[in-house]
Structure 1
């Protein structure tokens, strides 16, 4: 999230998806000016996000968005009427609801089916079937390269990340280090 936020050109619109993306932007992206940030909230927060992103992009020369794979799949039919302006959408592909792997119910019986809801879909094939340009990235350098490209029209960047469990463990480790540093800084350790 830090890489995406830092790489956006000034004057752009930036839509941040619900659940893990908005929390990661808040926690890890450096404050910056020169972009307008948007987000949706709803019962689950993931319904209609592509349609919202498309509407926002009609008012900006360049727009960007970062959403999860479930959010993308929940509004797939929006791709039937894509926007005309320049819009790049980063889809975090972790095969399901990543935020749920950080909650206490992770690992209990039925967790995968009820909470994580893995879809096991090939996002690249789905997007390409609509005739939309798609790039897949697996590293920070790939992500930086994708950010540097100025492709006209609608573009998707599929960001492949480690499994939900690996990412949840990294978050726990990161927050633990932050907590320790704060405790030391406040002389509480």
Structure 2
């Protein structure tokens, strides 16, 4: 998101085994830690050689495993650039880009793509854990002009409001994208009513949407254990705390809210289709990539 030349949509097109099998690398250089994306990590594991570069290896992360470990960027000998491999990668990436650009409607994938594209320059963007960070990783296009933040060390949903407000304290304007459960789990982050310019965009699919995309979907007791529907009006909750809040259900409304000047703390609740509909939509996108 903060690099215009970054590789986009890899977490989507590498999610299919058929595509991964055509892009097996000779070696992988990991700087820091990889993302939590299963598809990216599955791709990295295909490589016969893995190099890791991370200063933390010398102190707090001393048990890190790889074929070779470095605390600073090394000069790697014998690494051959493959034009054929790059051509394959670029072909798949372009196919994914065209598919993602063609997506329409009011759904979580298009919402992530739209926020990333429409957010104004010199704005900070905080993306919460669970489904939102994965949607931005998959569907946002790389750009410059913004600074992007996310909590990735611990992938839980606690403390995201407080994190976003802390980030916003040091920026003129900030947009924070949260899921509904992340929002509910940290409501007390609003109690101090600080003079901070931060607009929270809350994706409300009435529960833990990420679990509908995982193998336990449809299992006995799924809604109680994983879906955890809350059935609450998030805009009303925000208003009860003295925070301006609106509920929206269209891209036109979303674009208007993203582009509007940010003054103080406000909440925009996106009333999106159900978790099951979103999971089916993601599966359809993956199926389209694997068949194209």
Query: Under a length normalisation based on structure 1, what TM-score does the superposition of the two structures give?
Result: 0.92
Query: Structure 1 residue 82: deviation in Å?
Result: 3.1
1:99 maps to 210
How many angstroms apart in 2 are the aligned matches of 1:83 and 1:175? 42
- Give the total of aligned pairs: 181
What is the CA-CA distance between 1:142 and the residue it aligns to?
Answer: 1.2
Instruction: Check the 8 A contact 1:54/1:82 in 2, yes or no.
Output: no
Q: Is 1:122 matched with 2:230?
A: no
Q: Report SS of the residue matched to 1:136.
A: strand
The answer as to 2:271 corresponding to 1:145 is no
Give the Cα separation in 2 of the matches to 1:159 and 1:83: 24
- Is 1:38 the counterpart of 2:152 in the alignment? no
Report 1:156-175 matches (<5 A): 156-175=267-286
Note the 1:71-90 alignment, pairs <5 A. Answer: 71-90=182-201
- State the alpha-carbon separation in 1 of the partners of residues 222 and 153 from structure 2: 23
Residue 180 of structure 1 deviates from its aligned partner by 2.1
Q: After the TM superposition, which of the residue ranges 132-141 and 81-90 deviates more from structure 2?
A: 81-90
| CA offset digits 1:82-119 (Å, max 9, x no partner) | 33121111000000010100111111111001011111
Contact 1:7-1:144 at 8 Å conserved across structures:
yes
Paired with 1:107 and 1:44, the residues of 2 have a C-alpha distance of 23
Q: 2:16 maps to which residue?
A: none
Task: Give 1:28 deviation, angstroms.
Answer: 0.4
What is the aligned partner in structure 2 of residue 184 from structure 1? Answer: none
Report the Cα distance in structure 1 between the residues aligned to 2:228 and 2:243, rounded to whole angstroms: 26
Preserved contact between residue 16 and residue 66 of structure 1 (Cα < 8 Å)? yes
Alignment counterpart, residue 124 of structure 2, candidates 3, 7, 13: 13
CA contact 1:67–1:90 (8 Å) conserved in 2? yes
Superposed CA RMSD: 1.1
Q: How many Å apart are 1:170 and its aligned residue?
A: 0.4
Q: Secondary structure at the match of 1:45?
A: coil
Deviations 1:124-164 (A, max 9, x none): 11000011111111011111111122141001100110000
Residue 112 (1) aligns with residue 219 (2): no
Q: Quick check: 1:57–1:83 contact (8 Å CA) kept in 2? A: no
Deviation at 1:41, TM superposition (A): 3.2
So what's the TM-score if we normalise by structure 2? Answer: 0.60
In structure 2, distance between residues paired with 1:108 and 1:76: 30
Distance 1:42 1:116, change over 3 A: farther
**Equivalents in 1 of 2:145, 2:193: separation in Å?**
26
**Which has more radius of gyration?**
2
Q: Distance in 2 between matches of 1:119 and 1:145?
A: 28
